[in-house]
Chains A and B, each alone.
Chain A
């Protein structure tokens, strides 16, 4: 199977059957979008990387649950958003707990080390603008922030948000209204003193900005916003917010290379794999094939080579050192003296004179006598 040319559906099918390479291809295709979504929600690069990796691991674990009702990317987006929401909730709880604990123990946080919190503006160029946006976003609940980001940032309509976040359309409408016009509870900055608009009016302004109203209704709404200072203020504010978000949008690709990003996911998957899908025990034949046979083959070959070279060279030095005799067989009546010059590799064999020969004609060497 050629993974790079296969579509998502085929890759998901292959990944379900345990094809990790197919899943890697899916990761490669959608990692940037998932990371961008995580970053838009957390406003922290490393958290976004970690959460998107965690999402991919969870995606692998839950592949069997993916029924193909939505696109794979949408399904993964839902996972990463849920993880981000959990993360933000934990962070908020931790921050609250820490402050309470410090106040109890130390009589005021100002005397203690500052609580470590995410700095959403780190690394951004338009620091001032983003500081304001982040300050506003920071005051929102994670759910409100998710709705705002998904609506303004990710260009998702309410229905898609409801599907992704898993809440009703009515809740989303309420959330968007609360986010976009939070003057009544004073949570967001930049909203001046104006009359309190009801949610329907807020949504109408939002719909006008989104271009979702029919032409005639749009003209009427526009006319109304020009007459009504609160509506005009909200519309201006929404435009500013949208523009500001567009300018400070956390678009971009993962700061990590494909291999590095995938290696961490792969390690985690492989760590979890035995628990998820326990491997069948290796059969005896498989063990033999994998371990014993190669080892035996290597051992035999090495033994053969060693035996061959030992017999082939039989160096005089080795024989001398080992005390092994080079003279393997001598005739029964033989009488010989052997001298070996190890350095020069010379062997002198001095046979005694044959029977009947004249010993005087066959003097033995000086040193051998």
Chain B
């Protein structure tokens, strides 16, 4: 093998190795999450503040029957890998756990559990105990 080729192959290996390390470090970084309790309504605003246009757009594309959505409560928290957070939103108890790599495990006590990626542009929506209400999870800025 040509010596320069060996060197270049080694450089590529080194670059990929460092990339992998950087990715691994990024994967182990704490995940900053935002959980919002949102209520749906077809009436003009009666309570809470309207959701952001981005969230509204997302929610309106879902097969839900309401035209307006309002934020009742917002929780922001940071989870290290393997760490979990106990929440009560809209009468539902839930546990959010950071599995690493922007993956979370959402467990609604007595109801079920889901594992889902919550990337920068991904949103997880689930219903809660309170009427017409939802928990919206996404990465906080």
A305 to B101, CA, bound (A): 13
Is residue B74 within 8 Å, beta carbon to beta carbon, of the partner chain?
A: no
Q: Which residues in B have their C-beta under 8 angstroms from that of A312?
A: 23, 27, 101-102
A277-321 contact mask (Cβ, 8 Å, vs B): 1 or 0: 000000000000011001001100110110011011111100000
Is residue A349 within 8 Å, beta carbon to beta carbon, of the partner chain?
A: yes
- The interface-forming segment of B9-17, B44-52, B80-88 is B9-17
Interface size on B, residues (CB 8 A): 46
- The interface-forming segment of A47-55, A85-93, A215-223, A326-334 is A326-334
Q: Which residues in B have their C-beta under 8 angstroms from that of A365?
A: 62-65
B24 to chain A, nearest CB (A): 7
Closest A-chain residue to B101, C-beta based?
A312
Given contacts A331-B113, A365-B63, contact A311 B16 (CB under 8 A): no
Interface size on A, residues (CB 8 A): 50
Within 8 A of A (CB), among B114-141: 114-117, 119, 121-127, 129, 131-132
Contact status A366-B63, CB under 8 Å: yes
Is residue A335 within 8 Å, beta carbon to beta carbon, of the partner chain?
A: yes
Most buried by A among B27, B59, B65, B127: B127
A348 to B126, CA, bound (A): 6
Is residue A368 within 8 Å, beta carbon to beta carbon, of the partner chain?
A: yes
Q: Which residues in B have their C-beta under 8 angstroms from that of A351?
A: 108, 111-112, 126-127
Is residue A357 within 8 Å, beta carbon to beta carbon, of the partner chain?
A: yes
Contact status B131-A362, CB under 8 Å: yes
Q: Which residues in B have their C-beta under 8 angstroms from that of A338?
A: 114
B71 to chain A, nearest CB (A): 16
Contact status B129-A330, CB under 8 Å: no
Is residue A141 within 8 Å, beta carbon to beta carbon, of the partner chain?
A: no
Top-8 shortest CB links A-B: A367-B63, A334-B112, A301-B16, A312-B101, A328-B115, A345-B122, A351-B111, A349-B126
Interface residues of B (CB under 8 A from A): 1, 6, 9-10, 12-13, 16-17, 19-20, 23-24, 27, 57-59, 61-65, 101-103, 106-108, 110-117, 119, 121-127, 129, 131-132
Interface residues of A (CB under 8 A from B): 290-291, 294, 297-298, 301-302, 304-305, 308-309, 311-316, 326-331, 333-336, 338-339, 341, 343-352, 354-355, 357, 361-363, 365-368
